[in-house]
Structures are given as C-alpha cells and as structure tokens.
Amino acid sequence: MSTLDPTSTPSTLWTNCQAATLVAGANSPYGLLVDAALVVQGDNLLWVGARSQLPPELLAVCQRQHDAGGALITPGLIDCHTHLIYGGDRATEFEMRLNGASYEEIARAGGGIASTVQATRTAGAEDLQASAAKRLRQLIDSGVTTLEIKSGYGLALEHERKCLRVARALGQSHAVDVRNTFLGAHAIPPEFAGRADDYVEAVLQMLPVLHAEGLVDAVDGFCERIAFSPAHIERVFAAAAALGIPVKLHAEQLSDSGGAQLAARYGALSCDHLEWLSPEGVQAMARSGSVAVLLPGAYYFLRETKLPPFDLLRQHGVPMAISTDCNPGSSPCTSLLLMLNMACTLFRLTPEESLAGVTRNAALALGLQDRGVLAAGKRADFVLWDVQSPAELSYALGANPRIQTVFKGQVV
C-alpha cells in the first residue's frame, strides 16, 4: 500500500532531466546526475537523486509530475553583489570617455558616482522601483532566484531608506528573494566633502535606525584610497557587530589597503573585487571562512589589468563566488550568465568553479544555508536549461538557454 496522505502538502516529481546538483564533495563533476529525479514538496526539495534510486513510496505520493524534456537542471542562480537601485545612468559619461574626455574632466562636470547620487536623491521611490524592476527582470530572465541589493547611492538617511524599501518591495513583487545590504560607507556625499570622519559618524547614526526598521540584512563598505580608510570601515563594522549584523567589504579593488584582513577580523561573509588582494589577505580570508566574490564585469568595464589572485585563493581553499556587481559606473550588467563566461575567460576559473560561484558559493557569500545546491531539505529554487552539458552555460557568449525557472517549488 502506498503511503499517500491526501492531507500532506502535495509533492511534485520532475524527471527526464540531468541535474547539476553542485553538492560539495559529490563524486562527479558539478555533482551531475545524468538521469535525475527531483521531488518538490512545498518550498523545498524533498528528494534529489538518480531516477533509478527513487523510492517507490515517494513516487506514490507525487500527485503531479513534470517532464523536463531532457533539460539540464541547476540550482537557481544567486547574484550576491548588486547595486541594482539607482537613478539615471552613466551612458553619456561612457560616451564622453570614448570621445576623449578624461575621468577627471567628467568628475569636474558633475559626473561619476556623484551624478548617480544626485539622480538617486532626486528620483521618487516609484521611479527607482520601475527602473530597478527592468534590470531585475533581466536578471531573473538569466536564471536568478536570489539576489543581494545594496544601498549606497542615497548617502543620507531618507534616501538610503528609500532605496532599501524599494529593494524590499522588489522582493515582494517578483519571484526572487532579495537580501538587503546597507552600503552607507560607499562614497562621501557632496555635503560632507573633505569631512570623511563626520560622514562616517552620520553612517553610524543611520545604521541602527534602518536596522530597527527591518531594512538591513548585512553591512558593506568601500575600503579604498578614493573612498574610506580601514579605520573608517572598522568603525562601521564595530557598529554592525554590536547590532549582530553580518559584514562584507568592497576590498582591494584599485589598491591593497588591507581591507580583507580587517573584514576577516570581523568574520566577514565575503570580500569583494580583490584584484589587489595580498597573500596575507588570502590567508586571513581562509581563516575567517570569508567568500571571495570576484566581479569580472567591473574588471572588464574598467579595463583593469591586475588579476585577482585566483590561484592562491584556490590553494587556500577560499570559496570563490561570481557576481554581476550590477551598477551604473563600473558594471552596467544584468546577465549573470555573461559573468560565468567572463569568469572563465578573464579570471581562468573552470566552468565548474564558475557555476559553483553563482550557486553554492554565492549562497555562502550571503550567509544562506538553505540554497545554492540541489539536495533534500534545500529550497526548491531551480532552473531548466536547454543545454547538453553544464559547461555550455559558461561557454556561450551572450546566449540565454533558460527554459523555465522554479521558485520556491512553483513554476515561474
């Protein structure tokens, strides 16, 4: 007799697929199951394995069945570093640069990050939501089911609040999970020009207010000569730690300021960019278990030449994640699939490392234990792809072979 229980949550069986489970330590590359079965119950995966091993009693309780048509199934992609919400764009600036204007001339004419802050402050919440929703739909279209959204273009309480509220609203109105990061220490706003210490003080005032409003899941900063010093960042991190909020850091993007070591001391979830990361920084991250979030879009768009130390990161077992860094200044990118390709071509990651970078390791970078791999008990967030092998996902330049996304067990 079957164990069918009509009162239990309905289960759904997915078959006729390969599954790249990305389970760490699996005995096949990508944790690949060539003839897989997935059983979904509610928001979660109840069972994942070879179809031949599916227990008959489980089959019996599957009220619905989906034929995946031979698709490859991967975990839903996770974009763990975005600045999705901002006013305006910087296309004109891009054009000016290609017509010979220097970065400095553009900055003097009110361009650069200051222009995005100005446009973000001027924009109403509805406009910010509408423009970010367009970008979000493109990310979802490339297979994203979880993403992080940073503030950091408001740089004043009301504008940071406005952006973080928009981020929450986007998560509610789309089939995607949004994690909010407060990046008050992103740049020094014009009214604090030359007064970095005072602005850090203002950031310390904003943090508890925004946190009390339920708008902050993590705290980030930009540690760089042109932004905030390690001493500034440490004040922000200490305040976050006192509130029990996890931290992460834009570190060693343009120079080595020892940001990674500082972040590691605060048990950072991740250190991001890392082109100038030192061997000491790698060791510190290995000790703290921080994820290295590599951002090939910014490296490419800024035409950087210094590569992040991926060999050393590998040797020390630092997990590597890949993200779009979607932002108007250094990475106007809304395709996580394109980042897979660039992680391979520019950063020499293997296709398997790249795919782990937008699934398992991206989940770690957000401190999320419940997703990023296809395994029993994890969230039923997955994507069906029209490809023969997982490597095709990073091989193709500008293609989008997504067939379908399942988010919290439901076909999107």
Binding site for ligand NIG (CB under 6 A): 113, 116, 222, 250, 253, 298, 325, 327-330
48-52 LR contacts (CB < 8 Å, sep 24+) = 48/19, 48/21, 48/374, 48/375, 48/376, 51/15
Is the CB of 299 or the CB of 382 nearer to ligand NIG? Answer: 299
Q: How far is the CB of 333 from ligand NIG (least distance, A)?
A: 11
- Is the Cβ–Cβ distance between 36 and 28 less than 8 Å? no
The interface partner of residue 113, options being ligand NIG, Fe ion, none and the CB cut-off 5 to 8 Å by kind, is: ligand NIG
Total binding residues for Fe ion by CB under 5 A? Answer: 1
Return the number of the residue (116 or 405) whose C-beta is nearest ligand NIG: 116
d(CA 320, CA 375): 21
Contacted by 259, from Fe ion, ligand NIG, none: CB < 5 to 8 Å by type: none
Binding partner selected for residue 329 from Fe ion, ligand NIG, none, CB under the kind-specific 5 to 8 Å limit: ligand NIG
Q: Which residue, judged by CB position, is nearest to ligand NIG in the bound state?
A: 329
In the bound state with ligand NIG, the residue whose beta carbon lies nearer, of 221 and 372, is 221
Chain position carrying tokens 């919440």: 125
List own/partner pairs for 257-263 with CB under 8 A and 24 or more apart: 257/223, 257/224, 257/225, 257/229, 257/230, 258/230, 259/223, 259/224, 259/230, 259/233, 260/284, 260/285, 260/290, 262/223, 262/230, 262/233, 262/234, 262/237, 263/223, 263/233, 263/237, 263/288, 263/290
Q: Please provide residue 149's backbone torsions phi and psi, each rounded to the nearest 5 degrees.
A: -125, 125
* CB of 81 or CB of 165, closer to ligand NIG: 81
Letters for 298-337 (x = contact with Fe ion by CB under 5 A, - = none) are ---------------------------x------------
Q: 330 contacts which partner out of ligand NIG, Fe ion, none, CB within 5 to 8 A by kind?
A: ligand NIG
CB-wise, 18 or 151, nearer to ligand NIG? Answer: 151
- Residue 290's binding partner among Fe ion, ligand NIG, none (Cβ under 5 to 8 angstroms by kind) is none
Backbone angles phi, psi at 250, to 5 degrees: -75, 105
Which of 73/366 has CB closer to ligand NIG?
366
Per the CB < 8 A criterion, the answer to whether 196 and 187 are in contact is no
Residues that bind Fe ion (CB under 5 A): 325
